[in-house]
Amino acid sequence: MSLLSERIINMSTSATLAMAAKARELKAEGKDIIGLSLGEPDFNTPDFIKEAAIQAINENYSSYTPVDGYAELKQAVITKFKRDNNLTYTLPQIVVSTGAKQCLYNVAMVMLNSGDEVILPCPYWVSYSDIVKVAEGVPVEVETSIENDFKMTAAQLEAAITPKTKMIWFSSPCNPSGSVYSREELEALAVVLRKHPNIYVVSDEIYEHINFIGGHVSMAEIDGMYDKTITINGVSKAFAMTGWRIGYLGAPEAIARACNKIQGQVTSGANCIAQRAVITALNESPSRVQFMIDEFKVRRDLVLDLLNDVDGFTTNTPEGAFYVFPNISSFFGKTLRGKKINNATDFSLYLLEEALVATVTGEAFGNPNCIRISYAASQDQIIEAIKRIKEAVS
Ligand SMILES: Cc1ncc(COP(=O)(O)O)c(C=O)c1O
């Protein structure tokens, strides 16, 4: 009998965290690494949120919270969904968890049976595939193209559906491509989904506010989709609160109750101080964090401008999040500084070793022709990183 379960043996390590660890190792050796691999804002949590946490500590918030979150926080989530997304939820439909990542885990564990298929438009967020697999689901990858801005079309969705399809999972704005689905594009997907009432959608909207075109549209807003959609969101990205670990979902009541039940056997609920701080964050107008979004847009334009000048990189124009996902397959089969580049992982490692720039291989996101570059870094770092990349590949 082996020490570890097949479940964990078959699970891949998060590629973004693995790359960050490797970059840290090289840094410790004294190398001047520029990290463009992590999906985390380089801003501090805004003061008005920090103050709410300090106040909660002073008011002696220290006990277990309700498993699915303080009622006051769930009410703030309801208000946020109504204000920003025109979605009406009630208290039993909301579950607050330890990050959006745990919301996704909860949903997989409570909705998937062995062999159920989950459609994942590629590229998808790095953890989707392993979360689905750990719940014994089967990821079904749907390839998209850079020409279509890495978005799944209605025809592609239709072709991927089988009698075993249980769900589709996607993020908009998308990590890693930055693509944002328009209302028309979501409506086209919904036309297909309305023909298959047993299929549910996980709409991961954690980058909602980091949107450069305005007009975020939630899948649950689309005709016929409210009862079929689990809307996932959180404060990690928009409020620069990755380490506070608070995410939340709005879902049909039976699904939310099941998430509450499993959470009661896993964490007993999210951290109490962080929950108090998030009440303040969500009750404020999103305009309080607009300065970060404005800065991300400036950086997006800067990265696109600089990459445009690097031979062999093809990019789309990301409309949200803080990543670009260039196709670098033109380097495959070539030898750079004595190193053969066979795939995106070789290329990403080459950039780490030769340009001292950390990126992430597209293979981790289900697209083997691209790499992900995060621009959650200062403009100076971005300029220096792309200068080094250009030198390393020319
Ligand atoms: C698309 C997407 N969903 C979910 C998460 C997880 O967010 P959280 O920090 O709330 O667990 C991330 C974080 O990188 C993400 O990019």
**30-85: per-residue pLDDT in tens?**
999 999 988 889 899 999 999 999 999 999 999 999 999 999 999 999 999 999 99
Average pLDDT over residues 155-182: 98
Distance 233 CA to ligand 1 centre (A): 8
Assigned architecture for domain 49-285? 3-Layer(aba) Sandwich (3.40)
Helices (H) and strands (E) in the chain, counts: 13, 14
CB 257 within 8 A of CB 92: yes
State the average pLDDT for the chain: 95
Q: Is the beta carbon of 234 within 6 A of some atom in ligand 1?
A: yes
Distance 343 CA to ligand 1 centre (A): 26
pLDDT digits (tens, 9 = 90+) for 86-114: 999 999 999 999 999 999 999 999 999 99
Same fold for the pair 6-44+289-393 and 49-285:
no
Distance 242 CA to ligand 1 centre (A): 9
Cα separation, 171 vs 216, in Å, equals: 12
Confidence at residue 21, expressed as pLDDT on a 0 to 100 scale: 82
Confidence at residue 297, expressed as pLDDT on a 0 to 100 scale: 97
Confidence at residue 70, expressed as pLDDT on a 0 to 100 scale: 98
Ligand 1 atom showing the smallest separation from residue 234 Cα: 10
Q: Is the beta carbon of 101 within 6 A of some atom in ligand 1?
A: yes
> 378 pairs with which residues across the strands?
none
CB 328 within 8 A of CB 369: yes
Quote the percentage of the chain above a pLDDT of 90.
90
Average pLDDT over residues 331-350: 94
Q: Is the beta carbon of 35 within 6 A of some atom in ligand 1?
A: no
pLDDT digits (tens, 9 = 90+) for 29-39: 999 999 998 88
Q: Is the beta carbon of 242 within 6 A of some atom in ligand 1?
A: yes
Confidence at residue 97, expressed as pLDDT on a 0 to 100 scale: 98
Confidence at residue 14, expressed as pLDDT on a 0 to 100 scale: 75
Quote the percentage of the chain above a pLDDT of 70.
100
In the chain, the amino acid numbered 291 is F
Both structure tokens of 16: 């973004």
Domain boundaries, the chain: 6-44+289-393, 49-285
Fold of 6-44+289-393: Aspartate Aminotransferase, domain 1 (3.90.1150)
How is residue 32 annotated by DSSP?
A: -
Q: What is the CA radius of gyration of the chain?
A: 21
pLDDT at residue 243 greater than cutoff 90: yes
Confidence at residue 12, expressed as pLDDT on a 0 to 100 scale: 83
Among 38, 18, 16, which Cα is nearest to 237's?
38
* Residue labelled with tokens 């929950």: 275
Ligand 1 atom showing the smallest separation from residue 102 Cα: 11
